[in-house]
Amino acid sequence: MTIAEQAPAPPAPRQVLPAEERHATELAFLAAHDDGARPPGWVLTPRAVVTFVCGSDGETLELPRSRAKAAGADLPAKLAITPKFVGERALVERCVVTLAGERGLLLVGEPGTAKSMLSELLSAGVCGTSALTVQGTAGTTEDAFRYGWNYALLLAQGPTSQALVDSPVLTAMRTGRVARIEEITRCLPEVQDALVSILSDRRVSVPELAGGDDATVSAAAGFTVIATANLRDRGVSEMSAALKRRFNFETVHPIADVDAEMALVQRQATATVERAGAAFSVDDAVLDALVTVFRDLRSGRSAEGWDVERPGTVMSTAEAVHVAASLGVAAAYLPGGDVLDLVPGHLLGAVRKDDAADHERLLGYWDGPVRRRAESGSAMWRRLWDLRESLR
């Protein structure tokens, strides 16, 4: 049998599911569990959105049978909501309140602090979809916020509503949903300013449609915008004052609590390694060392209070997750040695990105905290100290 004659292979599973599909059961459960009043267009109550994003703190929520029946779907009777975004609940509550007031929400912070993740979770919890997204780049044009045309139809029919192609923002306006704008500060200022009129007038006119009913799209109740901005890119300070005024700003900080960061790194690295078809078998002690190095280099101070020279590269939790996952994949697929021996090489890959001096700073960290911990008798740090040559 030739390859062409073989039955077609089943479609490969998707690498990443959007939040609303990944957590579909939780969303349906929460919608039935909390049947309180909700703002127009919302699929969950504001309180349930917070629970969806932060988890139910280990508590198992129970769904009365009558409500499960009323919801129609096949829902579990009990469910503990998994924690997703790790951080202050109060921050998430403020975000939810902003959105309920139909104000724009701007999440700002260092790279890898889960701004995009939070925006995705919030929009899935509020309106049931996180898909109405515009990725801001230097090449983003106003069309990405307004509309474009299907040129074949435009040539055949002229500017009709069939030939009009809605942007994700326009779709969100028509349907009363949340539009997400990623990395808004990477867009040119004049392109960003297209949002000013959208967020104040709440309508977009399409003058090409010459006066018909469709010539103006007015936002349906529930429409709002969540934007993200990275502090390492061109800053939010360069946004126009008019646009800034239309957003509530929330700063997303790196995870403050070491145990919470460690648990998150373990959870997410485990999930990544399982997606790669293997089991996660890296010791907690190795992960602990990894997270410690990341936190020390990020903050410029070791857990013991010693000064550390911070590299220019951001030592984000997202990056710690990637390194932990690489260790997990190596342990599963290339077993043999001690996985601890791989830590320096992976760290160097994370640290040495754009500034050669960062390599020296990592060596400086080895000569400082790593050596002192080794001298204080820790076998693991002793081994890491012995591996200093592999950082050269």
> Footprint of ligand ATP on this chain (CB under 6 A)?
85-87, 109, 111-117, 228, 230, 255, 264, 268, 317-318, 321
C-alpha span between 218 and 103 (Å, rounded)? 16
Residue written as token pair 């490969």: 12
Q: Of 116 and 130, which has the nearer Cβ to Mg ion?
A: 116
Residues in the chain, overall count: 392
Residue 307 φ/ψ, nearest 5 degrees: -70, 140
In this complex, which beta carbon is closest to ligand ATP, that of residue 31 or of residue 325?
A: 325
Contact between 116 and Mg ion per CB under 5 A:
yes
**Which phi-psi region, left, alpha or beta, contains residue 128 (left: φ > 0; alpha: ψ -120 to 50)?**
left
Give the interface segment with Mg ion, choosing from 46-54, 116-124, 150-158, 168-176 (CB under 5 A): 116-124
Query: Closest separation between CB of residue 117 and Mg ion, Å?
Result: 8
Q: How far is the CB of 144 from Mg ion (least distance, A)?
A: 17
Nearer to ligand ATP, 41 or 112 (CB): 112
Q: Which is nearer to ligand ATP, 30 or 114 (CB)?
A: 114
Report d(CA 287, CA 317) in Å as an integer.
Answer: 12
Nearer to ligand ATP, 192 or 230 (CB): 230
Residue 207 tokens, joined: 């003058």
Tell the smallest beta-carbon distance from residue 250 to Mg ion (Å).
Answer: 14
DSSP codes of every residue in 222-275: T-EEEEEEETTSS-GGGS-HHHHTTEEEEEPPPP--HHHHHHHHHHHHHHHHHH
Q: Are 225 and 178 in contact (CB under 8 A)?
A: yes
CB of 116 to Mg ion, least distance (A): 3
Q: Which is nearer to ligand ATP, 181 or 321 (CB)?
A: 321
Partner whose binding site includes residue 326, from ligand ATP, Mg ion, none (CB under 5 to 8 Å by kind) = none
Give the range of 96-104, 112-120, 342-350, 354-362 binding Mg ion by CB under 5 A. 112-120
Residue 86 partner contact from ligand ATP, Mg ion, none using kind-dependent CB cut-offs of 5 to 8 Å: ligand ATP
Task: Work out how close the CB of 139 gets to ligand ATP at its nearest, in angstroms, rounded to a whole number.
Answer: 17
Chain residues that interact with Mg ion, rule: CB under 5 A: 116
